[in-house]
Amino acid sequence: MHAKHAAILYNPVARGLSRRPRSLQSSTEALARVGVTAELIPTKGPGSATIQARSLIESGCDLIIVAGGDGTVNEAANGMLHTGVPLAILPGGTANVLAREMRLPMSMERTAARLSEMQPCRVAAGALQMAAERRIFLCMTGAGLDAEIVSRLNVDLKAAIGKFAYYLCGFGQVFHPLTEFEVTIDGKQYAASFALISRVRNYGGDLEIARGASLLRDEFEVVLFRGTIGVRYLPHLLGVALGRTHRMKGCTVVRGRSVKCTPPPGGDVYVQIDGELAGKLPVTAEIITDALTLLVPPEYLVREQAFVAVPACA
């Protein structure tokens, strides 16, 4: 990397940073050893990374490094769309889905030490339209069951035990009734009580659901689950754990570039973006091609190019 003006935009309350306060300074030192001098800039609060990233680019920043979780990465990406300025990631959040997708080291310091090896890669992004608000996402958005889990999540529990808080809340949710809603993918209609609209295979840091998804594809992989009785999701969870979701009854996998989710009359259905509650249906997700420059490990790029050359297993 030959960045003249780099910045580390970090979330001071991200779980990884708050539990390892020295990791940020160690990462800065590791970057300096590979020739990248970066200014440390804390986010100012929820949603601020979008405005801060845009302001940094306008002031001449030619590399933005985000230290935090997927929520902070998404916020920064919203301010970097179509700028050409590279985005690099230092994993410091709860699940770190995007970092795990690229198989980055989960140590911020080790990832920082590898920054000079990273290669710029132009990737598509998802754009989620909710009423008057439009949000960019790099990994996934979900409607129905998983968003309902996020809506009930105890924030203090998440801070204490991390992603396991999602699992505990999820097991409690299987005893509640679910609402089915309409999903339209490239003009074709389906029904679902959980719709995952994904750009990545990794889900939650440990699982794979959208097994044919890739950041190098200019489309979503949409995984739809049917059923209004939560306990019937237990076989689906087992199928996810075994990597057999796409073969299970009640599960449909579709690829597309435009996805619209519409609630039933009088029904409230939540939406999440990368583990953060985003709002309620109706929403529309569209692919934005050539959206962002992402710095990725060279071995990831080789692996994904080979992966997309083979028809997806959906």
**What is the residue type of 222?**
V
- What CATH number matches the domain at 129-289, 3.40.50.150, 2.40.30.10, 1.20.1290.10, 2.60.200.40? 2.60.200.40
Q: Which pLDDT band holds residue 163 (cuts at 50, 70, 90)?
A: low
Is 87 in contact with 3 (CB distance < 8 Å)?
Answer: no
Mean of per-residue pLDDT scores for the chain: 89
Strand 283-296 to strand 86-91: parallel, antiparallel, or no bridges (unpaired)? parallel
Q: Which pLDDT band holds residue 313 (cuts at 50, 70, 90)?
A: very low
Distance CA 313, CA 287 (A): 21
Is 13 in contact with 24 (CB distance < 8 Å)?
Answer: no
User: What's this model's pTM, rounded to 2 decimal places?
Assistant: 0.90
Q: Both ends of the chain: CA-CA distance in Å?
A: 37
Residues of the chain with CATH 2.60.200.40: 129-289
Residue 122, pLDDT > 80, answer yes
pLDDT at 19: 79
For the stretch 189-221, pLDDT in tens is 999 999 999 999 998 777 889 999 999 999 999
Q: Quick one: tokens of 190?
A: 């389906």
**What is the residue type of 127?**
A
Q: Kindly tell me the sign of the dihedral angle through the C-alpha atoms of 80, 82, 87, 93.
A: positive
For the stretch 212-260, pLDDT in tens is 999 999 999 999 999 887 767 667 666 666 666 777 788 999 999 999 9
**What is the residue type of 105?**
P
pLDDT at 194: 93
Q: Which pLDDT band holds residue 95 (cuts at 50, 70, 90)?
A: confident
Residues of the chain with CATH 3.40.50.10330: 6-117
Element (H, E) at 202: strand 202-203
**What is the residue type of 179?**
T
Q: Quick one: tokens of 118?
A: 């990273």
Distance CA 148, CA 181 (A): 14
Residue 103, pLDDT > 90, answer yes
Main-chain phi, psi angles of 276, to 5 degrees? -115, 130
- What CATH number matches the domain at 6-117, 3.40.80.10, 3.40.1390.10, 3.40.50.10330, 3.40.50.11540? 3.40.50.10330
Residue 44, pLDDT > 50, answer yes
Other beta carbons within 10 angstroms of residue 131's beta carbon come to 9
Task: Name 198's Cβ contacts closer than 8 Å, sequence gap at least 6.
Answer: 139, 140, 209, 210, 213, 220, 221, 222, 223
For the stretch 164-177, pLDDT in tens is 556 556 555 666 78
pLDDT at 294: 98
Q: Which pLDDT band holds residue 160 (cuts at 50, 70, 90)?
A: low
* DSSP H helical ranges for the chain: 15-19, 23-33, 48-58, 70-78, 97-101, 108-113, 145-151, 155-161, 164-173, 234-242, 298-308
Rounded mean pLDDT of 68-78? Answer: 94
Residue 314, pLDDT > 50, answer no
Q: Kindly tell me the sign of the dihedral angle through the C-alpha atoms of 200, 203, 207, 211.
A: negative
Distance CA 182, CA 34 (A): 50
Q: Quick one: tokens of 14?
A: 């991200």
pLDDT at 167: 57
C-alpha to C-alpha distances, 254 to 168, 257, 274, nearest whole angstrom = 29, 10, 20
Rounded mean pLDDT of 14-24? Answer: 83
Percent of the chain at pLDDT exceeding 70? 86
> Chain-centre distance of CA 295, in angstroms?
16
